[in-house]
Each structure stands twice: as C-alpha cells, then as structure tokens.
Structure 1
C-alpha cells in the first residue's frame, strides 16, 4: 500500500514538472538557453599577430 502511494506521488511530481517545463511561458527561457552555445560575444578577441 505504501509503495503504491509513493509511486503515485512520484508520478504526479514527474507530470507536474513536465507540465511546468513545457508551458508556453517558458519558451523565452528555452530560446535564450538554445542561443548560449552560439553566442560568441563573450569570447576573448584573439590577436593573430601576437607571438608568445
């Protein structure tokens, strides 16, 4: 009986987290996170003529 209650609670927690993550209000956050890999504005500028 207890294992059934725990299983149901975990299932509801999982479904709740899934619904929270995929609601339309989070689209802007997902888009910003997707652009992080392509954003080069924070990379250091390399000096091609400099020698170590």
Structure 2
C-alpha cells in the first residue's frame, strides 16, 4: 500500500461521510426538530418587545 492508495481511501471515506451528513440533514424524520430549532431565537422574546408589539397592534 503506497501513499496514493491511502489518499484514494481517504477521499472515498470523506465522500461517504459527506453523503451520510446530507442524507441525515434532509431526512424527513429530522424536519420537525430542525423547524423547532429554527424558531428558538423567537421563543424568548423580551417582555418589553411584547408590550410594544401589543401597543402597536391596538393603535
């Protein structure tokens, strides 16, 4: 086994790992978890921002 065989094996291993991550990220089982994570920044809205939004809605 020489260095070129090792490089080829590393390339194939990396490609398989990349494909595995893509399949994992786009699987329909994970969609609900990713949607929930995407909305996390909006979950802890400060109280003052909520009050300002309610004021603007009432006017």
TM-score normalized with structure 2 length: 0.63
Which runs of no fewer than 5 residues in structure 1 stay unpaired?
44-52
Select the residue among 8, 11, 18 that pairs with 1:7.
11
Q: Based on CA coordinates, which of the two structures has the bigger radius of gyration?
A: 2
Could you tell me how far 1:21 is from its partner in structure 2?
1.4
Greater RCO (CA < 8 Å, at least 6 residues apart): 2
What do you get for the CA RMSD once the two structures are aligned?
Answer: 1.8
Which runs of no fewer than 5 residues in structure 2 stay unpaired?
48-59
Aligned length: 43
TM-score normalized with structure 1 length: 0.70
Runs of 4+ off more than 3 Å: none
